[in-house]
Amino acid sequence: MILRKTLSSLVLMLLYGCHLHMAKTVMNGGDLEAALPEPRAYIPDSQNLDFVYHDHEELTRFLRATSARYPNLTALYSIGKSTQGRDLWVMVVSSSPYEHMVGKPDVKYVGNIHGNEPVGREMLLHLIQYFVSSYTTDQYVKWLLDNTRIHILPTMNPDGYAVSKEGTCDGGQGRYNARGFDLNRNFPDYFKQNNKRGQPETDAVKDWISKIQFVLSGSLHGGALVASYPYDNTPNSRICRSSALCAMFQTYSAAPSLTPDDDVFKHLSLVYARNHAKMSRGVACKSATPAFENGITNGAAWYPLTGGMQDYNYVWYGCMEITLEISCCKYPPAYELKKYWEDNQLSLIKFLAEAHRGVQGFVFDPAGMPIERASLKVKGRDVGFQTTKYGEFWRILLPGYYKVEVFAEGYAPREVEFVIVEQHPTLLNVTLQPSKRIEGIGAGGPSYYRPIPAPQHYRPVPPYVASASNDNGIFSTISNGLNSLYSNIFG
């Protein structure tokens, strides 16, 4: 056992360590990414995927055929079934598709969470085909797939899509799942208790992201043209403490709700918007709808919502997720899909590469063995993240000087300083020492002092969480109705 641990330690040290406890700038994928040419223009393979909408059976056939055709680049799995029993397919695209490779971050895209917003669904199918058909000819794609595991869920709401109608730009038909629930209002919420009953689709996604530590994520929607970032919800107003009517009007005031990582979220949103053919212009879809400066917005500043998926990803699991509204029309005619692909292709690819920005590394014990589920928090940023079973961690950060606090049960906590520079991911390996031994305590003789266990996951303290009202009566009904109407119009 001792020999095996020693050998494992040596392997990890040789592969990923330079000097434990120290942050070090390394020349790796970040440098290569900066030097690579832009991804080439997409050339569709008409034998596999055309620019039309694909029903669930056609989508399934395409994914299965792609997995069979590119077994070294793809792996297909289902995270569960929809209310009506349709598989929620996920395609992994990577040079190591079947298993996690130590040191390689996992990222994801989720499409069609609202069934009547299927442009993202089709864009993700074309992204899959672009990746597998370009791996041997496009250096940028090869770098991305060699250094990243990309999980793509083209449709989270296949039941809603089945009853949606092509050419319908507005309205709510098909938006909800088969039980009439809005899936992007069905996740646990940090700011307010979400009493909506959990649905099979959201339960499957929650289970999925609890098992894979995703670093970066994008959720594709329609009905606007903007990249929206957390928080989607906001704490109750300090002024509106007793009136449901006051709370209703507060809901629709443009008040940003900013995360501790607001700089990173704005950067990620700008990466998508600026690589998009139109988004960064900030042009409003309609004269009556808002325009967005640089094509980005804070979610709550646009309109607050409770139970959103991007806030859940971030607060519960430390995954940086943004919401990508990519079509003014929710369900545009199929002949427009090719143009949507041309508009979004570069953004979809460049956004995923941001997983290689910031800090990454390992947390070890003194024997060089990885510590699983160690909790980390960048000082001054009160949303934390954890290590994988291999002791790995990643955090997207912009250039600057940082301190990270590292905790694990049974180990003394540590605080480590490090620096992030542009284009060069920083490798940070941290060794935790076992908690201090104190002799002669208790009837049993020698014992060990254990520091107070770190929480399973750091979550921020909201600036104000007192309840404004019991949300009963006519004013609550009006407020809920306005929220539903606003969502149906704008996404």
Domain positions in the chain are 2-30+357-448, 50-356+464-490
Neighbours of 58 (CB within 10 A): 13
Superfamily of domain 50-356+464-490: Zn peptidases (3.40.630.10)
CA–CA gap between residue 323 and residue 334 (Å, rounded): 23
Cis, peptide link before residue 448, omega less than 30° from 0: no
Phi and psi at 20, nearest 5°, equal -65, 155
8 A C-beta contact, residue 188 and residue 307: yes
CA–CA gap between residue 241 and residue 227 (Å, rounded): 32
Secondary structure element (H or E) that encloses residue 220, with its range: strand 214-221
8 A C-beta contact, residue 166 and residue 104: no
8 A C-beta contact, residue 284 and residue 223: no
8 A C-beta contact, residue 30 and residue 356: yes
Residue range 2-30+357-448, CATH number: 2.60.40.1120
Alpha-carbon distances, residue 319 vs 350, 375, 394 (angstroms): 17, 14, 10
What pLDDT is attached to residue 284? 87
CA–CA gap between residue 293 and residue 424 (Å, rounded): 29
When computed from its CA atoms, the radius of gyration of the chain, rounded to whole angstroms, is 23
Instruction: Name the residue among 396, 227, 259 with its Cα closest to residue 323.
Output: 227
Q: Quick one: how far is CA 189 from the chain centroid? A: 16
Per DSSP, the three-state class of 264 is helix
Active site residues: 325
Instruction: Name the residue among 471, 367, 359 with its Cα closest to residue 424.
Output: 359
Q: Per this entry, what is the length of the chain?
A: 491
What pLDDT is attached to residue 254? 63
8 A C-beta contact, residue 322 and residue 467: no
Tokens of 222: 């329609």
What pLDDT is attached to residue 253? 55
Strand runs labelled E in 309-432 = 320-327, 359-364, 375-378, 385-386, 392-395, 400-407, 414-420, 426-431
* The 296-298 sheet, strands edge to edge: 74-81, 87-93, 149-153, 106-111, 214-221, 320-327, 224-229, 296-298
Strand partners, 393: 361
Q: Is 466 exposed, middle or buried (0-12, 13-18, 19+ CB in 10 A)?
A: exposed
pLDDT in tens, the chain (491 residues): 444 444 444 444 444 444 434 444 433 444 556 567 777 665 555 456 899 999 999 999 999 999 999 999 999 999 999 999 999 999 999 999 998 889 999 999 999 999 999 999 999 999 999 999 999 999 999 999 999 999 999 999 999 999 999 999 999 999 999 999 999 999 999 999 999 999 999 999 999 999 999 999 999 999 999 999 999 999 863 333 333 433 444 444 568 999 999 999 999 999 999 999 999 999 889 887 778 999 999 999 999 999 999 999 999 999 999 999 999 999 999 999 999 999 999 999 999 999 999 999 999 999 999 999 999 999 999 899 999 999 999 999 999 999 999 999 999 999 999 999 987 899 999 999 998 754 444 445 444 444 444 445 556 655 544 444 344 433 333 444 445 555 555 56
Tokens of 413: 């906590």
